[in-house]
Structure 1
Amino acid sequence: MPKLKNDTFLRALLREPVDYTPVWLMRQAGRYLPEYNQTRARAGDFLSLCKNPDLATEVTLQPLARFPLDAAILFSDILTIPDAMGLGLYFAEGEGPKFERPLREEWEIRALTAPDPVEHLGYVIDAVSQIRRALDNSVPLIGFSGSPFTLACYMIEGQGGTDFATVKKMLYQRPDLLHHILATNARAATDYLNAQIEAGAQAVMIFDTWGGVLSHAAYHEFSLRYMAGIVSNLKREHDGAKVPVILFTKGGGNWLEAMAATGCDALGLDWTVDIGSARTRVGDQVGLQGNLDPAILLSDPDTVRIEVGKVLASYGHGNGHVFNLGHGISQFTPPENAAALAHAVHELSRPYHITG
């Protein structure tokens, strides 16, 4: 395989020496970009955009044309897996994702099986291959999946952003049913991520958006356990190169040590965690990704630069840091503030990587 022109992101994840801190943004291809909105309008709706490899490739590349980012991330959605399971994913305007057939009955849950990613999620695998070709080895491509627990939240509740009462009732009253869903999701996510790696993803990330709503004991039993299973069954090398794995639990600051012990290469941090303290806690075990509050990008370029400097200073000297937001970029972010962030990271981080 031809060598990457910019492999700073991959080296940082593996805690290898770099000249500067690499940066990419969660949800970097999104509604804050006018060009994204134009492509989405051509697609007709969000799901049609996800399921069209040509258009998914187009929007994946858009932020890279605007900003000096060090990685591309596949344009898709975490809910492609439950959609492939037949739950009927749709996006209500202004209300986010919903499922026509949420899992409520025991027979539905027992009948749940992991979809074959090539057969049922071929449009994603095709998009990965197409994006890799379009990138022409400029920067690495990140693939991703939702965590088993986060997927289960949507599958059971039928939508996101709730108090998760239905999920938690099942968790405490019928843990056997929830474990069946989680085990099925873990198999599906493992197969899905491995298919993305085979198609060309050079790093993968597991998004555990809702793990932080769990109690300490429940997080370990119903979320982390299944993510650890995925990590241990992933292809960690492809085409002679290591494939790093990033684990991200929003609201997971209490469990960083346990997350690091899964064997992943890096942890994503939300903005509620001090990245310097996190580094002290996990030591040299894993790299860290994060963790600017996305709301800072609603301010102005000067403020963005100051706040970027604070995150870099908190992490301190040395390697193993990938700069990112603590969650997805807001659709109301002025693009010039995202540009200010990328430029500030590259400029201000260099003194932290000078050795000798």
Structure 2
Amino acid sequence: MAKLLLNTLKGKPSDRVPFWFMRQAGRYLPEYREVRATAPSFMDFCYNPDKATEVTLQPIRRYGMDGAILFADILVVPDGLGQKVWFEKGFGPKLTPVNDEKSFSRLSLGGFHNQVGNVYETLRRLKVELPSEVTLLGFAGAPWTVATYMIQGAGSKDHAAARQMGYGNPELFGKLLDMLVDATAEYLIAQIDAGADAVQIFDSWSAAIPEPMFEAWVIEPTRAIVDKIRAKHAETPIIGFPRLAGAMLPTFVDQTCVSAVSLDTGVPLAWARENVQNKVCVQGNMDPHLVVSGGKAMTDEALRILETLKHGSHIFNLGHGFVPETPPEHVALLAETIKTFRR
């Protein structure tokens, strides 16, 4: 059976818009919470193929999305490089900071694939268990976004530690980004080898830096990853997500050569249609909090997005991920609204 989402990523027209949702496997689903309660830690959860496969499949069973995204976390990559990563309840991720040459020297690609190998096993299982028409999506965090966690040792509102290293110690910062380019490219290539039909690169914090640094810290590393993937898997679509990049989106698309780009909630759709969708497939961009509210406001906005982008290549998605308080029945209504729309 044809994979509608994969065909759309490859530029093939269709009368129905494919859809999937960021964080579609997550805390808003009671069945997810049941499985999560059986794992001793979040990293153990990510590395358990049985549990990760199950929660990836859950939203597909409920809603029939056209894409299933691997359940994992962007911090699998620093964990694979040898940085200690853990999650604290009520706080989020914690890492031993990489903020000088000594801490950087402890990182290595040597044992990377052994450490993260269960992620590939999850993909192999999903390739067998997913319905044949569903596109299997792999993913990774972009080097800049992952570096912000690695340097800070946690999440951050302003990513000051990473920015200050980039400005004040560009040699060390450059070495870290280069290592992340290599690790991320290898990780995504291995995901494709294991069965991923397409991959997405999440640069969640790309808005935190000025234009010259955006090119050096966001565009150039992403392009390097794209080039490495294409050298091994020339036909596999690659989705970029430089969240809150704004007016830099067309430049990002032109210079990274991604196959598609995800639009955050704040991107004006008419502008995106004229300046981005004319270059590549676009994905997005409903406000996830509208799905919390549900009802007519949600369905009206879904139809507005679908109508505005209907003459080009479009995958319906959110502008960011589902929030935990999202009612599952609202997701069902949104899925039905998308499925019944015709161009």
Normalising to structure 1: TM-score of the pair?
0.92
Give the counterpart of 2:273 among 268, 279, 284: 279
Match status 1:324 vs 2:317:
yes
Measured after TM superposition, the shift of residue 303 of structure 1 is: 2.2
> Quick one: distance in 2 between partners of 1:44 and 1:50?
11
Matches within 5 A, 1:273-352: 273-315=267-309, 317-348=310-341, 350=342, 352=343
**1:171-192: per-residue Cα shift (whole Å, max 9, x none)?**
1111111111000000000000
Secondary structure in 2 aligned to 1:234? helix
Equivalent residues of 1:236, 1:244 under 8 A apart: no
Secondary structure in 2 aligned to 1:242? coil
> Quick one: distance in 2 between partners of 1:60 and 1:84?
21
Equivalent residues of 2:80, 2:113 under 8 A apart: no
Give the counterpart of 1:38 among 34, 38, 55: 34
> Quick one: distance in 1 between partners of 2:142 and 2:335?
28
Secondary structure in 1 aligned to 2:90? coil
Equivalent residues of 2:278, 2:312 under 8 A apart: no
> Quick one: distance in 1 between partners of 2:103 and 2:281?
40
Secondary structure in 1 aligned to 2:119? helix
Match status 1:61 vs 2:57:
yes
Show the counterpart of 1:18. Answer: 14
The percentage of aligned residue pairs carrying the same residue is 39
Give the counterpart of 1:196 among 179, 184, 191: 191
Normalising to structure 2: TM-score of the pair?
0.96
Secondary structure in 1 aligned to 2:94? strand
Structure 1, unpaired ranges of 5+? none
**1:280-337: per-residue Cα shift (whole Å, max 9, x none)?**
112532100000011101112332111101111222x324100000001001000011
Show the counterpart of 1:28. Answer: 24
> Quick one: distance in 2 between partners of 1:236 and 1:180?
22
Equivalent residues of 2:100, 2:172 under 8 A apart: no
Show the counterpart of 1:170. Answer: 165
> Quick one: distance in 2 between partners of 1:39 and 1:113?
32
Matches within 5 A, 1:218-297: 218-235=213-230, 242-261=235-254, 262-297=256-291
Structure 2, unpaired ranges of 5+? none
Aligned length: 342
AA aligned to 1:264 is V
AA aligned to 1:250 is R
Equivalent residues of 1:149, 1:208 under 8 A apart: yes
**1:1-41: per-residue Cα shift (whole Å, max 9, x none)?**
xxxx2411111112211120011000100000000000001
Secondary structure in 2 aligned to 1:42? coil
Measured after TM superposition, the shift of residue 144 of structure 1 is: 0.4
